[in-house]
Amino acid sequence: MIRRLSHILSDFDKLSQIYAVLVIIVIIGGILTIPSLEYQADRLYPKTIHPESPLDPYDRGGTPFEKTEVLAEYPENSPYLGYVTAYLTPFSLALATLTHHVGTTIVAHPGGIIDEILYNTRGLDTVVETSILFVAFGVASFLFLRRDEE
């Protein structure tokens, strides 16, 4: 028994299989607990949809160039919270008056709730994220460029 277990453990080709088994066990156990999981997502950055707004689905109220109410975890740590959200570049403001169907485009352009979260309140996440990209591409391009010298 132990010898067989040792045999499985010592073969690194089986690594992902061992891991898969562990995950499956936990998830099967987890399905039973689903009924006890209550959905509680209205505490942070809840969203309200205004279908008639040109900024739909990202209109979070407030007037452009002014402050907007944003529900963050620690508002006291981000003194300018809400400014990014309400900010629209002249270009996106013009776009908003023109048509009702490019809300996503407008908000993805600098200034919008996602920018507020990504750059301001959870900026450290984005730092890590871009660093991951940086390192991973470093690895890939190192291997790629090295192919010629062998």
Partner 1 sequence: MIRVFDQGIEGAGLFMIEFGDIVPYFSVYTATLFTFAIIFTLLATFSIPEKQMDIIFGGDAYYAKEIKPQDLRFQRFVAIACGTATLGAVVTGDIFNFTLFAAMIGITNIGIVASSRSHHVLNAAYQYGIVAMIACVPLFGGAAMILATTGTLSIWSLAGIGAAPILAKILLLLGVMGEGMAPFYIGKAEITRAQGAPFILMVHVSSLLLFLRVVEIILVI
Partner 2 sequence: MTPEFIIGLGLILLGTVSVAWASPKDYLTRLINLEIPAFGLLLVMLSFDEMLALLTFIAVSTVSTFIFVRVIGKREGVN
Partner 3 sequence: MISIYQSGLIAAFICIIIAFISLYQETDDLHRLILTDLTEIMALLLIALIATDLAEALILPGLVVMIAELMALAEIYLVKEGIQRKKNSSALDIEVMQTAPPILAGILVLYGIILSGFSGGAVAGLGIIFYSVCKGSDELFAQIETASGYAWVAWIAAFFIFLLLPGQWFFAVMIAGGAILIKVMAKFSLIGTMGGDPGV
Among residue numbers 38 through 67, which ones bind partner 3 (CB under 8 A)?
39, 41-42, 44-47, 60
Cβ proximity to partner 1, 10 vs 97, nearer residue: 10
Lookup: tokens for 69: 């109410």
Q: Would you say 125 and 118 are in contact if contact means Cβ atoms under 8 Å apart?
A: yes
Q: Would you say 86 and 69 are in contact if contact means Cβ atoms under 8 Å apart?
A: no
Cβ 93 to partner 3 shortest distance, Å: 14
- Provide the strand spans (E) within 3-139: none
- Run of H or E residues at 140: helix 123-146
Cβ 4 to partner 3 shortest distance, Å: 17
Q: Is 15 in the site for partner 1 (CB under 8 A)?
A: yes
Q: Would you say 16 and 22 are in contact if contact means Cβ atoms under 8 Å apart?
A: no
Q: Is 130 in the site for partner 1 (CB under 8 A)?
A: no
Q: Is 58 in the site for partner 2 (CB under 8 A)?
A: yes
- The one among 2, 26, 35, 101 contacting partner 1 by CB under 8 A: 26
Q: Is 95 in the site for partner 2 (CB under 8 A)?
A: no
